[in-house]
Amino acid sequence: MSLDAFFQAEFDEHAEAFAATRDVVVEPFTRLVEVCLTACRNGNKIVLFGNGGSAADAQHIATELIVRYEVDGAPITAIALTTDTSVLTAVANDYSFEDLFARQVEGLCREGDVAIGISTSGQSENVIRALDMAKKIGASAVGLAGRDGGRMKGLADPLVIVPATDTGRIQEMHIMLGHMLCGALEREFRAP
């Protein structure tokens, strides 16, 4: 395949994933925004977590909320559970990698907070356990997933599922949805 054909194929795949996502995520995404708005209005926080590229997405979204996405203003309380290397390595070593996020959710989340799990497959055990812990605490367990939602389906509510199978396309849609979440929260809390 020529570089030009590869380039065109990548854009075509992105456009297909974009169109398919747009058709199915309006309702769960709207509910996700409403859950986050309610939490922030009540002085609660948003915690985000995922593995690999989804860890990077969690950090990216949390940064946009704390610093700014497009509008300067007060920080929107958010934290990525993927950044504290001492906690990450201690939990993985002393407990298990599967408890990596659940242990942090248990220690950092309170009733009314929002726990956003991100998993392209919807199958990541450490994300599943963290969402389960969030529910036990009384935090909102919500998520971004791909494919058919995997094990996150029925656990995270709302669950925004990108209807694609390619990990790269799912991640592209997740960060777009993350930016949209940041933009919606800024409209409420940083509007000029």
Helix, strand or coil, per DSSP, at residue 138: coil
pLDDT in tens, 129-165: 999 999 999 999 999 999 999 999 999 999 999 999 9
Mean pLDDT of 57-62: 98
Mean of the per-residue pLDDT values of the chain: 97
What's the pLDDT at 191?
78
- Token pair, residue 182, equals 């940041």
pLDDT at 131: 98
Question: Which residue, chain included where needed, has tokens 């209807």?
Answer: 163
Burial class (CB within 10 angstroms; exposed 0-12, middle 13-18, buried 19+) of 101: buried
Between residues 69 and 1, the one the model is more confident about? 69
pLDDT over 90 at 28, yes or no: yes
How many CA atoms does the CB half-sphere of 138 hold within 13 Å? 4
Do residues 153 and 126 lie in contact, with contact meaning Cβ atoms separated by under 8 Å? no
**Banded model confidence at residue 24, pLDDT cuts 50, 70, 90:** very high
**What are the pLDDT digits (tens) for 157-174?**
999 999 999 999 999 999
Please, what are the domains in the chain? 3-189 (3.40.50.10490)
> What is the per-residue pLDDT for 6?
93
Confidence band (pLDDT; 50, 70, 90) for 1? Answer: confident
pLDDT at 77 over 90: yes
pLDDT given at position 91: 97
| Mean pLDDT, residues 72-91 taken together | 97
Confidence tier at 103 by pLDDT (50, 70, 90): very high
